[in-house]
Amino acid sequence: MWARFWFSMPAERPRPPPFAPPPPPPAPPQYGPPPEPSSVASLYALAGDFLDRAKTALATGGPAGPDAISATSSTRRAVAELTAPASKAAPAATTNDSWTLSSRAVHWIIVGAVVAAVFLVLCVVACFVRRRRRRRRRSRPVLPAAQLPPPMVYHKDGLTWPVLQQATPSEFYFAQQQRPTPPQTSGTFSDAGTDRHHSVDVVAELPTGGGSHSYEQLAAATDGFAPGNIIGQGGFGCVYRGTLDGAEVAIKKLKTESRQGDREFRAEVEIISRVHHRNLVSLVGYCIYSDERLLVYEFVPNKTLDSHLHGHNGPPLDWHQRWQIAVGSARGLAYLHDDCYPKIIHRDVKASNILLHHNFEPKVADFGLAKYQPGDDTHVSTRVMGTFGYIAPEFLSSGRLTDKADVFSFGVVLLELITGRLPVQSSQSYMDETLVGWARPLISQVAEGGSLQALIDPRLGSDYDPSTMMRMVECAAAAVRQSAQQRPSMVQILKHLQGETRADDPDGVFQITTVEESFSSSMESGESAGPRPRRTRRNQGNTSNNGSSEQA
């Protein structure tokens, strides 16, 4: 029954699930300020800012005014913020970072960044200063470098022979590399009527050290360049007497205040080391030490011709000594003009540049102003330099230099030997009288039959040979002619002094001329603009007879 009842009971219905409230809606996202960058990121940003500013400074040539100041101040503020102590909220933030740094590491990173920044600033300043120096150098006029002249040769028996030279100590000097020579407007060889320029000026880059002797050797040779060893001085510097390797030498110490000393130094080394003649002073060596330029010559003990003619110590030169000095000096200058190729123009022939040995053998010295003249050029265009009283009129007026300028200067030296007077005689008048201007009227009187006595040095008296005296007067008169074309060459003067030619030869180059008015010349041609001279033939043996005159 119960089983019937059990099976007859209806099935139990499922119960519904208990009631559950719905989930709340999702909360909206909270937007807050972005997280602050870490210290490493800030340092990277600061370094990048420094690099950008350094590149900008290099591109613009250096730091500039307000922008640079504002950039510097902003950089300082950034560094101050990084190095400031952290706030209370900072530890909570740093504890949430995935990578943290100790305070010591941050400190060293900041120090490194500051050092790098200072280094970059110094680099920028150095670049800026260097660029300014380059601009200043470019703004200066560039001096041309020198070109070495062709090798020296001499002519004999119709053939050309090289000058045999010993190994000179100046080989190091000549081996210096020369810079390209830009065009120049002065100090050049110029061919008349052409635009060719051959620079032989002595403005080359000098080496900073070297030479055949050290500065210490030369200082020891002169007792530390003691004032008691000075044997000569002038605008170029001082000449000291010294002993080097047991031999007496003369050491010229050039002044270093101007660039002219470098020009004279190079000219002396180039010329004297390449020519060898018994009537030219010999170069023993040289020294280049920092800014010092020193030249070592053979010692010539008997001082200069100027000291014997115009000094007050010692007896006056006799006539034989004067004639010997004239012939020897003419022989040395003739070697420079005719036996050397290219031709060498001394440009400063004067009594103080003629040294005398024990036997009064002359030696021409001081080649600091010398110039080369190639054979295909008619003249050298250069600055007027020399000594007043010796400068040729055409060179003084036009700046065109030829070997006839040396002839004129040598004629003044001959007049000094004849008269014993200075080349420029100071007087009470407003103008100084030159020796040439004083002697020309007296020479004209000799041509008209007058006496030589008014022209001759009173210290000689009558102790001279009339024949050789007359030949010297004829050479002097021909050498100081106003027109350069009418002057003889040094070879002709040498031959006439030695008696190899006569004044009444067909060419008549040594015939004494007379003029009625003062000598004057054109500024361009150098020719006489006054009356034409009247040439007078005279008897070679008699200096007082009146010769027959003829109109030239």
**Domain residue spans of the chain:** 40-59+109-125, 168-180+197-298, 305-535
* pLDDT at residue number 185: 29
pLDDT of residue 431: 55
What single-letter DSSP state applies at residue 282? P
Instruction: Go through 151-183 and write b for each residue having 16 or more CB atoms within 10 A of its CB, e for each that does not.
Output: ebebeeeeeeeeeeeeebbbeebeeeeeeebee
Q: How many CB atoms lie within 10 A of CB 75?
A: 16
Residues 274/149, Cβ–Cβ less than 8 Å = no
CATH topology of domain 305-535: Transferase(Phosphotransferase); domain 1 (1.10.510)
Give the per-residue pLDDT at 160: 43
Measured CA distances, 45 to 40, 82, 109, 113, 393 (Å): 9, 12, 13, 11, 78
Res 226: pLDDT:
92
The per-residue pLDDT for 370 is 82
Query: What pTM did the predictor assign?
Result: 0.58
Which amino acid would we find at residue 479? A
Domain covering 168-180+197-298, topology: Phosphorylase Kinase; domain 1 (3.30.200)
C-alpha 244 chain-centroid distance: 28
Cis peptide before 149 (omega within 30 of 0): no
Are 142 and 176 in contact, with CB atoms under 8 Å apart?
A: no
pLDDT score, position 4: 57
What pLDDT, on a 0 to 100 scale, did the predictor assign at position 502?
Answer: 80
Q: Mention every residue, 6+ apart, whose C-beta is less than 8 A from residue 384.
A: 391, 395, 396, 399
pLDDT for position 114? 87
The answer on whether 253 is annotated among ligand-binding residues is yes
Told to judge if 348 belongs to the known catalytic residues of this protein, a careful annotator would answer: yes
Q: Which contacts qualify for 537-543: CB closer than 8 Å, 24 or more apart?
A: 537/503, 537/504, 537/511, 538/447, 538/449, 538/503, 538/504, 538/512, 540/467, 540/470, 540/502, 540/503, 540/504, 541/467, 543/446, 543/451, 543/452, 543/466, 543/469, 543/470
Q: Where are the alpha helices (DSSP H) in 84-190?
A: 89-96, 103-139, 171-174
Residue 144: burial class (beta carbons within 10 Å; 0-12, 13-18, 19+) = buried
pLDDT at 402 (0 to 100): 87
pLDDT value for 262: 75
Q: Which of 348, 366, 377, 457 is catalytic?
A: 348
Tens of pLDDT along the chain (552 residues) come to: 555 555 556 666 677 777 777 888 877 776 666 666 666 566 667 677 776 776 676 666 555 555 555 665 666 666 566 555 555 444 444 444 444 556 777 778 888 888 889 888 899 888 888 888 777 665 544 434 334 444 444 444 444 444 433 333 333 333 333 333 333 323 322 333 333 333 333 334 444 444 578 899 999 999 999 999 998 887 678 899 999 888 999 999 988 765 566 777 887 888 888 888 999 999 888 998 888 889 999 999 999 999 999 987 788 999 999 999 999 999 999 999 998 888 898 889 999 999 999 889 999 998 888 888 766 554 455 666 768 889 889 888 877 888 999 999 999 999 999 999 999 987 645 555 889 999 999 998 888 877 888 899 999 988 999 999 999 999 999 999 999 999 999 999 999 999 888 877 766 788 887 653 334 433 333 343 333 344 443 333 333 333 333 332
Q: Identity (one letter) of the amino acid at 384?
A: V
